[in-house]
Amino acid sequence: HAPARKNFRTRPVVVKGIEDLYQADLVEIIPFANINNGYKYILTVINCFSKYAHAIPLKNKQASSIVEGIQPILSSNKMRFLQTDGGTEFFNAKFKKIVKQFDLQ
């Protein structure tokens, strides 16, 4: 095995204002579900300007659960951009509908 690289290139994240860019992803905590009332995932949403983070526990990663978890965050913040990874939990008809509803890019 090759040693791990200590310095690698990253793309800069340019944020123009406090409500400009948020990033969302899922964290799997499946091994701990039995001690967390059956919650297997944590939906994390981070404001890239202030670094303020939201963490919402989820029992599954179905589209309806993701939408239900993120809707209160979208309602209380006026974000312009929401950046996610390429996971199927974020690329489906239900999530696209809420993105359109809140006029996100």
Domain boundaries along the sequence of the chain: 23-101
Span 28-83, pLDDT tens digits: 999 999 999 999 999 999 999 999 999 999 999 999 999 999 999 999 888 899 99
State yes or no: pLDDT of 1 exceeds 80. no
Q: What is the pTM of this model?
A: 0.84
The 3-state DSSP class for residue 8 equals coil
CA 97 – CA 77 distance, rounded (Å):
17
Which run of H or E residues covers position 97?
helix 93-101
Options 3.30.300.90, 3.90.78.10, 3.30.420.10, 2.40.40.20; which CATH number does 23-101 get? 3.30.420.10
